[in-house]
Structure 1
Amino acid sequence: MVGLNALLEKHNGQKLAILGFPCNQFGHQEPGTSEETLKCYRHIRPGECWEPHPDFTILKKIEVNGSGENALYSYLKNALPPSSATATKPIERLFWDVKKDDDITWNFEKFIIDKAGKPRFRFSPKTTVESLHGCIEELINE
């Protein structure tokens, strides 16, 4: 989360926005309401009174996999192949009904979408925010 703020600071004024969608389908790590989740970020994880950057929009909690999958994630997953990651957590920590090959594998899987709204890149949850700078600069400069 802190790294996402730093990414926005680095590209300040370059029409970069980050959207975060809390999801409770991975180990029940986001159990509260959308409002409670924002308080959790501030006080627990990452904590230390963390606030999202003004260009970092955290939206309401959604489902990203299974029969209740949000249409945005259906679109993103259909547009790009799965990240190289596989679900590394035990299956009992994944909370959705129908499992598919293109499912989001864990929290913090990342999609990069260009200025025209076309999904261009998909990264595993293990991909660091710092390693995204090159892809983002490529798209900003197009």
Structure 2
Amino acid sequence: MSRLRLAAIVAVATLAATTAVAIAATPKAGTFKAPKGQIQRGYDLKFTVAKGGTKITNVVANVLEQCAGEDTSRTVTVGPGLTWTVKGGRFSGRKKESADGVTVYTTLKGSFTSATTAKGVIRQESIVAGSTCDTYELKFTAKRG
């Protein structure tokens, strides 16, 4: 087999593999859940996918966070009042909320690997009087219930 032909075969195979990885699925509407063991450093995570599979709402995650200068972690609940857009089976965004001197950044990103399974990461950073508490990026796998 000539080198040129071999190079062409390798290039096509690489392109096919890359394309397969890049494809994400349109999710079915409903509640998706990641129980303990399916969310890193956490107890559970759930969210709702709206009809048509274009929005994620009602995100609630009970996870551990570490605060600067503290030796222990504590459980926090990531707030449900945020909405993320789903486009092409993918979601990504960093939302900012501020109230009473506290600023909270919540990041959710990932993709639907099938119509009933989502994989991604969630993170919450809270800033109070210059001190930061952080969950760090926590991987999850959520399935439609």
TM-score by length of structure 2 reads 0.24
TM-score by length of structure 1 reads 0.24
Bigger CA radius of gyration: 2
Structure with more strand by fraction: 2
